[in-house]
C-alpha cells in the first residue's frame, strides 16, 4: 500500500479476534468429524449408490469422495488459521 505522498506504508500482521479464532478452529474440527463420519458411511453403503452390483465404485462414490477430500483440506486450512489466531492471542495476553 502507498500513501498519497508516495511513501510505502509498513505492513502489519493481521490479527483475529478471540471469537473468530475459536470459531475457525471449531469449524476445522467439526469439518473433520462430519466428513470422517460421511466417508465411513459412504464406504459401508449398501443402497447401491456408491457401489454397483459387482462391488465397483460408481460415479456417485467418486464425486462424494472428492467432495470429502476437498472438505478435509479446506477444514484443515481453516482450522490452522484459527489455531494460529488462538496462539497469537495467548502470546499477546
Q: Are 23 and 31 a contacting pair, CB within 8 Å?
A: no
> Span 14-27, mean pLDDT?
93
Cα torsion 37, 58, 73, 21 to 10°: value is -40
pLDDT score, position 3: 67
Q: Which grid coordinates are listed for 81?
A: 488459521
Write out pLDDT tens, residues 33-71. Answer: 999 999 999 999 888 899 998 989 999 999 999 999 999
Whole-angstrom Cα distance, residue 7 to residue 3?
5
Q: Which grid coordinates are listed for 40?
A: 465411513
Q: Are 71 and 39 a contacting pair, CB within 8 Å?
A: no
Amino acid at each position: 500500500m502507498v500513501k498519497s505522498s508516495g511513501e510505502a506504508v509498513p505492513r502489519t500482521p493481521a490479527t483475529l479476534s478471540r471469537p473468530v479464532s475459536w470459531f475457525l478452529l471449531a469449524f476445522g474440527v467439526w469439518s473433520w468429524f462430519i466428513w470422517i463420519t460421511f466417508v465411513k458411511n459412504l464406504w459401508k453403503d449398501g443402497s447401491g449408490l456408491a457401489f454397483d452390483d459387482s462391488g465397483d465404485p460408481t460415479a456417485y462414490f467418486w464425486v462424494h469422495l472428492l467432495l470429502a477430500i476437498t472438505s478435509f483440506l479446506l477444514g484443515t486450512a481453516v482450522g490452522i488459521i484459527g489455531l494460529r489466531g488462538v496462539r497469537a492471542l495467548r502470546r499477546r495476553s
